[in-house]
Structure 1
């Protein structure tokens, strides 16, 4: 009589469950601790001011580049259409502040024109963004 030996396969694999748990814990940690900032979508170098403070998160950001182009929510707008866009946004939430994020080398005339359009659109709170001076 011959005996046939059956080889039993033992679980020689690596259990990856603890590794997946650690990956998900790290993912949750990084999501919770990261800060999400909303910007205008254009690259600007803000001027510095010693009296700079933080404003509300639900604000409308108007970006002005060094070349003088105007952007709202990463979309370029003309000065002539800025008032209508602001009126539409203010109709949704009338107390939302407007923050002008202007490059420090942007033409001052464009910023003044934006301030004028904000007044015509009946915006109550308008601020100009700056970095806090250290």
Structure 2
């Protein structure tokens, strides 16, 4: 008869707490992130020497061929929707393609002024 003590095995560390932490972090980042909608069309913004962060909430996209997009609306509907959303001193942010001719940009700026906007910010990339 063998009455010797059995060999004790080392207790393995459980991986379950680490999995729980990873899933909690995943849920945290999913809940706190902001998913931005894709741009309606590809716009390459012009370069600038200095760039400040625009404070505008109203973002209007203008393509190189002059197409206008505001929220989910295009062209004339976009202008009407923008006119309904402009209130007080909230500036309008324009994301204009760098290849848009200056004469077309002046038409866009005058159209923004007719909506009642008091200031306009044009998005640019820093060199």
**What is the TM-score when the length of structure 1 is the normalising length?**
0.67
**Residue 95 in structure 1 maps to residue 89 in structure 2:** yes
The 3 A distance-change label for structure 1 pair 65 and 17 is: same
Which of 50, 67, 76 is the equivalent residue of 2:65?
Answer: 67
Q: Can you list the C-alpha shifts for 1:24-55, whole angstroms capped at 9, x where unaligned? A: 224424765x6765775321111110122111
Q: Can you list the C-alpha shifts for 1:55-96, whole angstroms capped at 9, x where unaligned? A: 11x521111112221111243223xx5543222001xx4222
Is the contact between residue 65 and residue 106 of structure 1 (CA under 8 Å) also seen in structure 2? Answer: yes
Aligned position for 2:41: 42
Unaligned runs of 5+ in 1: 1-13
Is the contact between residue 53 and residue 132 of structure 1 (CA under 8 Å) also seen in structure 2? Answer: no
**What is the TM-score when the length of structure 2 is the normalising length?**
0.70
Q: Secondary structure at the match of 1:61?
A: strand
Aligned position for 1:86: 82
Is the contact between residue 83 and residue 120 of structure 1 (CA under 8 Å) also seen in structure 2? Answer: no
Residue correspondence of structure 1 range 53-64 to structure 2 within 5 A: 53-56=52-55, 58-64=56-62
Unaligned runs of 5+ in 2: 1-13
